[in-house]
Amino acid sequence: MIQFEKVSKRFRRTEVLKQVDLTIERGHRIALVGSNGAGKTTLIRCLLGEYTCDGRVLVDGLDPRSHRREVLSKVGFVPQLPPPLKMPVGQLIRFAASLCNADPERMREVAQRLGLSADQFHNQPFVKLSGGQKQKLLIAIALGRDSELLVMDEPAANLDPEARHIFFQLLAEKQETSAMLISSHRLDEVATLVNRVIELDQGNVVLDDRVADLVDLSSRLRCRVSLIRPENAFARAISEWGFKGDGEGRIWDGVVAGPDRLRFLGVLSRYAALLAGIEMHEDEGAAAGVAAADG
């Protein structure tokens, strides 16, 4: 679907991408990782036809620079930093839907699933939304249309756990028909979402590996965490994940989205000395419920 052929990009004396060769097919869910300045954003901008570059970038055989509309109508893009657009939410949805020949109602529905009522914020300038609300709306615009390639830069960074779970479900619905390119500084943030990892370092591809694709994107894990003693800092941290404690604050129960398990364990690791036990079970009911809802 996507081919990078000896793609190089230079800003004055600095070569940011060096002869990058990559092929990406439908069904590939790629974590594009690397430190700051590795070339991730530049690669994405070349793919979107926003940067000129040496070599060739092809999406279904078309150059995104010279066939912008054909190529970009297939691409849903979620930037890392939401643009400071002053136009109201309703206007932004109409604008994007109109350019993409999409149904704005579908975008509103996706926003609603993510927990953002587009109707409630219809007249509110986009720039006045909170970070999480902006992220939800941009995801809704990207996923609420027939995109075949999803390009996302730290897409779930500002989302609450429930919205993250819905976001993973939305990705699961697209995983067979689309390719996904998810850029992140940290592999553990996106590891369970993807089936391929590409690491960039100083403009070179230093790792291109397939990874085990065992985590169901729409799965949920029912968790119970026991502590040796109650701790306020832990209570605050785990409450953000929607966990409920017993009266004492020693036992905490909640649900974690399947692809979020590594991130959740990362949070728990900060309180390792307090932990008396962790139980995690696949939540069959939730998975079945999702499957039924999809059906």
Partner 1 sequence: MRHLWLNAYADIVESLRARWFMVYTMVFGGLVVLLFAYGLAESRIMGFTGLSRLLLTYIQLSMAILPIFVLITTVRSVAGDREAGVFEYLLSLPISLSAWYWGKILGRFAMVFLPVFLAMIGAVVWGVARGVEVPWYLLIYYTALLMALAWCFLGIGMLISTLARSSDVAQGAAFVVWLTLLLFLDLILLGIMIQENMPPDSVIAIALANPMQVFRTASMMLFDSQLVLLGPAAYVILDNFGQAGYIAYALIYPVLLGTACAAAGYLLFRRSDLP
- Does 48 engage in binding with partner 1 (CB under 8 A)? yes
Whole-angstrom distance, CA of residue 145 vs CA of residue 132: 21
Of 77 and 252, which has the nearer Cβ to partner 1? 77
Which of 62-70, 180-188, 206-214, 217-225 is the region at the interface with partner 1 (rule: CB under 8 A)? Answer: 62-70
Written as one string, the DSSP assignment of 215-245 is S-TT-EEEEEEEESS--HHHHHHHHTTT-EE
DSSP β-ladder status, 220-227 and 251-257? antiparallel
Buried b (16+ CB within 10 A) or exposed e, 241-255: bebebeeeebbbebb
List the one residue out of 39, 30, 127 whose CA is nearest residue 85.
127
Burial class of residue 11 (count of CB atoms within 10 Å of its CB; 0-12, 13-18, 19+):
exposed
Of 69 and 236, which has the nearer Cβ to partner 1? 69
Instruction: Provide the mask over 151-170, with x wherever binding to partner 1 is found by CB under 8 A and - wherever it is not.
Output: x-------------------
Whole-angstrom distance, CA of residue 40 vs CA of residue 45: 9
Q: Which of 25, 69, 212, 272 binds partner 1 (CB under 8 A)?
A: 69
Which of 28-36, 79-87, 239-247, 257-265 is the region at the interface with partner 1 (rule: CB under 8 A)? Answer: 79-87
# chain residues binding partner 1, by CB under 8 A? 31
- Does 98 engage in binding with partner 1 (CB under 8 A)? yes
For partner 1, the binding residues in 242-271 under the rule CB under 8 A are none
Whole-angstrom distance, CA of residue 228 vs CA of residue 250: 7
Q: How far is the CB of 32 from partner 1 (least distance, A)?
A: 16
Task: Report helix, strand or coil for 126.
Answer: helix
- Does 51 engage in binding with partner 1 (CB under 8 A)? yes
Of 2 and 72, which has the nearer Cβ to partner 1? 72
Interacting residues with partner 1 (CB under 8 A): 45, 48, 50-52, 68-73, 75, 77, 79, 81-88, 91, 95-96, 98-100, 125, 138, 151
